[in-house]
Amino acid sequence: MKRILTCLLLLLTSVHASANFSFLKQEPQILPVDQAYLFDFGQQGNALELKWSMQGKDYYLYQDKFDLQVEVDGDVRLGEIQYPEPVIHTDDWFGDQPVYFDAVTLTIPVLEAKGGASVTVTYQGCLDGILCYPPTRQTVFLNDVEANDGFAAAAQIPAAPISKQDGLAAMLDGDKLWLIIITFVGLGMLLAFTPCVFPMYPILTSIIGGQGQLSTRKAFALSMTYVQGMAITYTILGLIVASAGMKYQAALQSPTVLIGLAVLFVVLSLSMFGVYNLQLPASLQNKLNNAQNQQKGGSFVGVFVMGLISGLVASPCTTAPLSGVLIYVAQSGDLMLGGVTLYALSMGMGLPLLLLGTSGGKLLPKAGAWMETIKHVFGFLMIAVALMMLDRVYPGMLLDLAWAVWGIALASYLLLTNKKTAFSWLKVTRSVLLTLGLLGSVSYGLHAVMNPHDATADLNFVHIKTLTDLEREVAKANSEGKAVMLDLYADWCVACKEFEHKTFPQPNVRERTDTMVMLQADVTRNDAQDIELLEAFDVLGLPTLLFFTPQGEELSSLRVTGFVAAAPFAEHLDTVLAQ
């Protein structure tokens, strides 16, 4: 166990060093001007929208620095720029100035445009108290517009909806830390039953069960130790991903790491079957006994290490709350608030685990034959966790057969154990249920062999690899007047597979995606081209779905992060197609 702890700490130290961030830095990160103010534009009818998104709470743009004498090429007439309400900011050099923080959208009525006209706008901003950028220019090309009065369509552009993750990122800019912590603890509790957190239940139950009969206080202490290990790992990995990019998350979910974790859980399961006793040397146990008030040697150290490892199990699941924190950290560089929020989210995820582990100390049977049976069942549960790990690497018929064999073995073992008990209606009930479980496992295995067809094979994905591929396919779709959906996928991403099996094949979703061009980029290998594609769109986790209009504009506010069921996803596609 000491060796496991040492290896894990070395891994985290190495990744931490690569991430190259510091909790001690107080000054904001200074970004290049094109990264500090992300520019976008869109035209609907005779209304042109120019949009800027500031990548940090201290960045702002001056209202009076937008160039009203817009340079125009081609046959075009423009109306007056329509400004949103500014904020009055006290500038050390210029006094009170009307400025825009966070984001700003300017609307310009297009009175007439012909012959591929283009418009150039100039703007200027500052990083509060640090520096001011020189004037910057952006050029946009207009669609042809017939002569008009410039009013009707300008008011018809609906406000772009804010995605859940962007809304949560914006929430972190507030000052009410207690409200942020409570909110993310609650969101963590909602995530406690997601596919990536579920493996932790058999892990923790196995650990508690392996300790023998425990008091409620001891069970609570062990459970809290486990949850703390999980929360610390989850928090550190989140900060690494937000600060250094998704390539580190992908590296930790590589086949080598996942197979290693699977082997570890199989080895641990053998101790539950009595193959060996997992314990520290007697001399070290005695020292720990004195240090831990006669607690069982190595319990807390081993449980904490298992919690650290379990944080790796949960790390591939990207959800809207997690993405909100990652977006905030990536844009603001505020690692302290990001770390506190990630820890709150982790503790919310750990609360059900804490309740399960604490109750286990009271509900587990006393030592005896049944206790041995329970320990063996925990061994099966540890093997189930190993299969979950391997399912990210080798999905398909082989894993389905492995699950079938696991189910047959578990049901058979419990049937044999049940035969040794005294006759009662409970014994009959258990026999019936276990027989059904055995038959179900056999049926599952036969179905995997006889019906290897995957419903996802019918999905009309066009597979791309590079940014050039994406640009080519988007341009091709635009020429056909179609919107585009890009699915960023990886084999190690559990929620990506849920999308493919539970959402994309559903008729109400297919009805809408059939009108779109569906692209998929498999970034499992995490090579240079994959990283370039992910970083081009600031992707911080998977699954992520990007949407492009028939004009080739990415609808960043409608980006989807994390699994979405068929019905709400169909409604989301309606919003995308309406753009």
Domains of the chain as residue ranges with CATH: 33-159 (2.60.40.1250), 168-394 (no CATH), 456-577 (3.40.30.10)
Strand order in the sheet with 517-522: 461-464, 517-522, 484-489, 544-548, 560-561
Per-residue pLDDT for 485 more than 90?
yes
Instruction: For residue 309, give the H/E element and its range.
Output: helix 299-314
Of 194-203, 502-511, 549-558, give the lowest mean pLDDT range.
194-203
492 three-class SS? coil
Token pair 């068929």 is at which residue?
A: 566
Cα torsion through 403, 404, 409, 415, rounded to 10? 120
Q: Are 534 and 246 in contact (CB under 8 A)?
A: yes
Q: To the nearest whole number, what is the mean pLDDT of the chain?
A: 74
Higher pLDDT among residues 361 and 123, named by residue = 123
Residue 280 has pLDDT above 60, yes or no: no
What would the DSSP string read from start to end of 365-427? PPSSHHHHHHHHHHHHHHHHHHHHHHHTTS-SHHHHHHHHHHHHHHHHHHHHHHHTSPP-HHH
**In which band, very low, low, confident or very high, does the pLDDT at 389 lie, cut at 50, 70 and 90?**
confident
Separation of alpha carbons 326 and 342, rounded Å: 9
Each residue's pLDDT tens digit, 401-416:
888 999 999 999 999 9
Q: How far is CA 327 from the centre of its chain?
A: 11
pLDDT reported for residue 182: 83
What backbone phi and psi angles, to 5 degrees, belong to 492?
-85, -5
More confident of the two residues 16 and 168: 168
- Token readout for 356 is 């399960």
Average the pLDDT over each of 47-51, 175-179, 470-474 and give the range with the smallest value.
Answer: 175-179
Distance CA 302, CA 461 (A): 45
Q: How far apart are the first and last CA of the chain?
A: 56
pLDDT band at 15; cut points 50, 70, 90: very low
Pick from 148-162, 202-216, 226-240, 558-572: least confident: 148-162
What is the pLDDT, as a whole number, of residue 313? 63
Highest mean pLDDT among 298-307, 504-513, 529-538, 562-571: 504-513
Question: Mean per-residue pLDDT for 352-372?
Answer: 63
What pLDDT, on the 0 to 100 scale, is given for residue 152? 44
Band the pLDDT of 520: cuts 50, 70, 90: very high
The residue with greater pLDDT, 255 or 260, is 260
Locate tokens 């849920």: which residue? 498
Which two tokens mark 96? 């009170």
**How far from 506 is each of 176, 501, 520, 567, CA to CA, in Å?**
41, 9, 18, 9
Neighbour-count burial for 279-303, b at 16+ CB within 10 Å, e otherwise: ebeeeeeeebeeeeeeebbbbbbbb
Query: Given pLDDT bands bounded at 50, 70 and 90, which one contains residue 11?
Result: very low
Which pLDDT score is estimated for 487?
93
Assessment of whether the complete model's pTM goes beyond 0.75? no
Which residues fall within 8 angstroms of residue 492, CB to CB, at 6 or more apart? 250, 253, 254, 255, 258, 316, 392, 393, 524
Q: Is 84 a residue whose pLDDT tops 90? A: no
Q: Which tens digit of pLDDT belongs to each residue from 441-453? A: 898 888 877 766 5
Judged against a pLDDT cut of 60, whether residue 24 lies above it is answered with no
Burial 346-377 (b: 16+ CB within 10 A, else e): bbbbbebbbebbbebbeebeeeeeeeebbbbb
pLDDT confidence of residue 296: 43
Are 573 and 512 a contacting pair, CB within 8 Å? Answer: yes
Please report the pLDDT score of residue 351 as a whole number. Answer: 83
What percent of the chain is modeled with pLDDT above 70? Answer: 68
Residue 275 pLDDT level (bands cut at 50, 70, 90): confident
- Residue 264 is predicted with a pLDDT of 78
In the prediction, which pLDDT does 166 show? 59
Judge whether residue 526 has pLDDT over 70: yes
Predicted pLDDT of residue 40: 86
Residue 456 has pLDDT above 70, yes or no: no
* pLDDT interval class at 494 (50, 70, 90): low
pLDDT value for 283: 54
Could you report the per-residue pLDDT of 301-325, keeping only the tens digit for each? Answer: 777 877 777 666 665 565 556 666 6
